[in-house]
Structure 1
Amino acid sequence: MLLCFSSSHRTAEFDLLERLERHAPAVTAALAEQHGIVAGSVVLATCNRFEAYLDVDAQRLAGAATADHVIETVAAASGIDADVLRSSSAVYSDDAVAEHLFSVSSGLESVVVGEGEIAGQVRRALQAARTSGTVTGNLERVFQVASRTSRGVKNQTGIMTAGRSMVRLALELAESRITDWAAVRVLLVGTGKYAGASLAALRERGVVDVQVFSPTGRAAKFALSHDVVPVESDDLLEALGAADLVVTCSAVTDHVITRTLLADAIAAPDAAERRLVIDLGLPRNVDPAVAELRGVELLDLETISIHAPVEELNAAADARELVGAAAAEFAAQSAEQAITPALVALRTHVFGVLDAEIARARSRGDSSEQTEAALRHLAGVLLHTPSVRARELARNGDAQAFVDAAAALFGVEVEEPPRAAGLRAVDDETAAS
């Protein structure tokens, strides 16, 4: 059974998401240790959400008990109270997991609807799980379909172009404070893919004066490949003082810019009088207390999310329709797969009876190769309609009817009857909206 623990900007404060993101490795390891209950996991940790997609053994713990076990595991690994997690998360099961993941990977659940970064983040989460060996066939399949769905949404709707990334939204908010982008002196903190996207967005607006600092010592390499000026640790204070705009997007877990550091930079004789600090890091790269300093304005992820635009209604509606169709087809295919053991059992029974009769005919000398081939063909033809009907019943959520019919007519028993599809959430108390 698929299960998803989801804590996002829709259900939780950014402080909680920051703590979960910081403990993502510990949570991943803890889930991998739940032998017998959790068969596999994929953990997705971004600036707006923390989610664990799980393949769980529904026979060990049923329904809400499974969800509660997962929440307790996440709580223990992250050091966050389990009751806090329950009130700040949603838990999805079965077919609802696929629909949620498809929506997430298509950018429909992001702070900025249609943002382009999330599809890549979902793919990287899957790759990380592959590397660590925690992916099962069920998880691989749902993530592969999620990737195809997000591409379909991007190609067939205007949601990706209508939506704006967090970087671009932040810079749009900054436009009311900046009159001439070409004259702005920028300090970029971070050298990852987010930093590259931030630099590209800045240059689109005409920024030419950019310095880059890396808490991990990678500034020189990034500067060389992106044609900007590197800043070493000894020069950070001076660079901070001179910057009109500071954009941080580092993956480090500690504050890169503290109140004390920025206060010292501001105190320099030739420091800029005013500066805007945009903190795109999660965990935060900037101490929120810097906003108390004279001449400093701070835009962090929580502030930016408040100003996220209303959905582009037509594009969003089209995208949600595609996601819904993809989720419905995934559920139907999953239901067909669930009926497979019953179909195999029926075919095994029929061909077993046929083989026994052919063996008796051979012992009497009454069989020929042509007759045997004709009988096997006849058995296949007779099984065709029940097989088609079984898949139709499964797609309509009535697979058990086929299992019962096979047992009543042929005495065929299936050890694990197919589960009922379509559970939307574990229960009303466990799944927060």
Structure 2
Amino acid sequence: MLEMATTRRLLIVDPCEDCHQLLPGLRTVGWEVDSCGLDEAGDRPCDVGLLRLQPFHLERPEAVKDLISRSNTEWIAVLNQDVLRLQNVGDFVCEWFFDFHTLPFDVSRVQVTLGRAFGMARLRGQGAVHVNQPEHELLGDSRPIRDLRKLLSKLAPTESPVLIRGESGTGKELVARTLHRQSQRHAKPFVAINCGAIPEHLIQSELFGHEKGAFTGAHQRKIGRIEAAHGGTLFLDEIGDLPLELQANLLRFLQEKHIERVGGSQPIAVDVRVLAATHVNLESAIGAGRFREDLYYRLNVLQVVTAPLRERHGDLSMLANHFAHFYSQETGRRPRSFSEDALIAMGKHDWPGNVRELANRVRRGLVLAEGRQIEAADLGLMSQAATVVPMGTLEDYKHRAERQALCDVLNRHADNLSIAAKVLGISRPTFYRLLHKHQIR
């Protein structure tokens, strides 16, 4: 007897007469069927979609891509031989649809395909990442990122300067934007300047502005970044690259709360909160005479340290899926999941470029992927079979294997530690003891 415990919802978009003739048989085997036009399909929930693909759909493919991207399910194209012969239709169907059927229908084959599509849609749903946070949210559920969010909630309401430290690619500007967004200044400007990306002879003008005629080429007055941030937040990225002369000017501004434009003589009062970031060791720079100690203490009133990606165990798959969805809009390809081999390769990679490197590799993977999943090679990573482990003592192997097992299981089940422990065949208390032993989470 047929199992009817699970309701399976099928949405048929722009149906034809052949589609309508399918309905009685599909309802008999347990499908709950609805139909509508393409413009209404985004508001109709479904587990599997059937789209009658016609030439006018190919003339505005973005509408079809948008529907499939947002529905988080599998779609099957229905088309006749004339449409199948159109240029590029094959690539379009292979990229965006789970399968296709040509008219007239083979009813038994349709039912089998719908069943397979339903199963794949369920798997896709289990791995889906729904990011409802604002654009500049810090994503992740590892201990370092939870501690960071908690710290930022304490620092944001204050007016004190904050020094943000961490490796390149760990999201220091993201931290600065979060501090601004959660502060009382959130409705005012957030102005960022990379002190290492502006030519030295232009930095003073960029920061403080200039008056008309202040130097050759100064044809009109220019408002500097500090003045543009009045009432809001000024973020000085890579502050360690600021030339010593400009460090003195910045220190004077922090002390006196006013600036003078280049070529000007009138002090201009400016009210900003200053956030600074660096990936270099400022203490060493002070010892080498490259950074002013008095400026260091002015900026380092409060301090935030961003964790490298290799220490954020459990966040890797969430971030990878987030970037896969984000960059799919740029590449025009359907968001892809990651193969088991790709997940293992990502878990074993050290990520020297941190989250920025992950974003770039996922972006590359979306472009290069030929199958329905992103593979390790698409990411530019070595597959599990190609990974060579250096020799060591037996104890080294045991320690490495234990830690890798914990990292691998967290990459897949970070949201449910009971399941993670069960997968490893250990009790939950033992699982927590091992996490503590290896300083994970």
User: Which range, TM-score by smaller chain?
Assistant: under 0.3
Q: Which structure carries more relative contact order (alpha carbon 8 Å, separation 6+)?
A: 1
TM-score, L = length of structure 1: 0.24
Structure with greater proportional helix content? 1
TM-score, L = length of structure 2: 0.24
